[in-house]
Amino acid sequence: MIEIVRVSVENEMDLTLAYKKSIKAAELTGLSMSTQTAFATAVSEVCREIIDKTHDGLALIYIALSGERYHLGARITYTEDPVMGKLEEGIQYAKKLVPVFKHTMHQGIGTVELNISIPRACSMNNQKINAVKAFFAHLEPTTPYEELRQKNMELYQINEQSELALRQAEYLIEKKNEFLTVASHELKTPLTILRAYTQMALKSDCSPTALSHLRKVDMQALKLQAMMQQLLDISKIETGVADYNKEEVNFSSYIDDLADLIRKLIPEHPLEISADTVLISIDKLRIEQVIMNIAGNAAKYSDSGSAIHFSTHINTEGEIQVSVKDEGIGMSPEELNKVFAKFYRVEDIATSYSGLGMGLYISAKIIQGHGGRIWVESIVGEGSTFFFTLPI
Ligand code: ADP
């Protein structure tokens, strides 16, 4: 089915347009005068009934190939108004004018489909259909009302296309999330087994060289595990199943414990800490994930030996404010807002530092899930400071 032209069906002026456009379509198709009139009258009779009995309708004139025969048709849809009742008289009359006429109703949306076959003598083909279509596409409106309608119709079509594109994109995102969840789940199991055996082998009696190799295997498996977890987190966040097990913690002891962990994991960076004592309700593991990610980045994107300053205090708005400051490569002002986007990595450094651009996206979602804010300040070549807040 190739759409030739569409007309909205709401008032008497639309009725005139529906008649004019259907008769023109029939004329361009090559139908005889009497068939042109029959087709256009059938269309406008249905439209009249729709205008009388409902609030909105849409007539779509088309050419379709069925078997070996081309047809000129109209599909007129409307929303049924229960108060005004069913379409009757106009429909009965229109039915007699065209050979094919169907009226269906589904969930309050009525559809009238009518068509007329185009004789072989009219030599219909794709080229001719395109020419008819082009005629309507380039038709200049003759009245201001027609111009307004035409613009409206164009907007309606753009809207329809964007809705379709949006639905397709949503479908693809859904499929991608499904794949991420299944793939990361499936990959997690062998990785856990691999790590368990590596840990066992590390405790066994083997040569120093073998031990050093095993430690490397374990470190890489750990990295893989962290990445798998990030993929799982992303799919959880996007499918809306991420939930937070909040509990009350003393924030300064919590930070002290974390600092010990950070010192163990990144011993090559001296860590300076200052923290206020306050009770706060958080998901300990998720906030740990945020802090470890920011601290891990601070170490990754700065020279070994440079300090990382870690501080928490209660800000003027009465929230806990955490900051992690490094003396690393920094970022340009344009990059600052982008780093929290999914899979975003600063282009210039992407080849020199490994990473997937997931950590800050997940961190931002976790902080938002706790009702806080996250941002970064940075100067290229001098370092970056990541901040986040948590309501008390
Ligand atoms: P990853 O580090 O795995 O690429 P992230 O989401 O944690 O992913 O970070 C996104 C990007 O933000 C990084 O690729 C990097 O370009 C930039 N970035 C993050 N932290 C820092 C930092 N401390 N200093 C400089 N750039 C950073």
**pLDDT score at 122:** 92
Amino acid 24: pLDDT: 95
φ, ψ for residue 294, nearest 5 deg: -65, -40
Helix (H) or strand (E) holding 328: none
Please state, in angstroms and rounded to a whole number, the distance separating the CA atoms of residues 257 and 244: 20
pLDDT at 291: 94
Task: Tell me the CA–centroid distance for residue 297 and ligand 1, in Å.
Answer: 6
- Asked if 314 and 320 touch (Cβ cutoff 8 Å), the reply is yes
Q: Whose CA is nearest to atom 12 of ligand 1?
A: 339
Atom of ligand 1 nearest to the CA of 358: 6
Nearest to 42 by CA among 123, 128, 102: 102
Kindly give the distance from the C-alpha atom of residue 337 to the centroid of ligand 1, in angstroms, as a whole number: 12
Contact 244, 369 (CB under 8 A): yes
Q: State how beta strands 308-314 and 271-274 pair.
A: parallel
The whole-number pLDDT of residue 118 equals 96
What is the reported pLDDT for 346? 87
Q: Are 40 and 19 in contact (CB under 8 A)?
A: yes
pLDDT at residue 181, as a whole number: 79
Q: b vs e for 172-208, b when ≥16 Cβ sit within 10 Å of the residue's Cβ?
A: eeeeebeebbeebeebbeebeebbeebeeeeeeeeee
Helix ranges (H only) for the chain are: 12-29, 33-53, 89-97, 126-137, 144-203, 208-238, 251-265, 284-300, 333-336, 347-350, 359-369
With a cut of 50, which residues of the chain have pLDDT below it?
none
Task: Bin 355: left if φ > 0, else alpha if -120 < ψ < 50, else beta.
Answer: left
pLDDT given for residue 360 in this prediction: 94
Atom of ligand 1 minimally distant from the CA of 293: 7
Atom of ligand 1 nearest to the CA of 356: 3
Among 291, 302, 345, 374, which residue has the most ligand 1 atoms within 8 Å of its CB, making it the best to mutate? 345
Cα 339 to averaged position of ligand 1 atoms, centre (Å): 7
Side chain identity, residue 341: A
Report the atom number in ligand 1 closest to the C-alpha of 301: 24
* Residue with CA closest to ligand 1 atom 11: 345
User: Nearest 5 degrees, angle CA 253-CA 304-CA 209?
Assistant: 95
Distance 218 CA to ligand 1 centre (A): 24
Helix, strand, or coil (residue 304): coil
Q: Max CA-CA distance within the chain?
A: 99
Residue 363 Cα to ligand 1 midpoint, Å, equals 12
- Protein residue whose Cα sits closest to atom 8 of ligand 1: 357
pLDDT, residue 213, reads 93
Q: How many CB atoms lie within 10 A of CB 382?
A: 11
Q: What is the pLDDT of residue 299?
A: 93
* Residues contacting ligand 1 via CB (< 6 Å): 293, 297-298, 301, 326, 328-331, 339, 344-346, 349, 355-361, 384
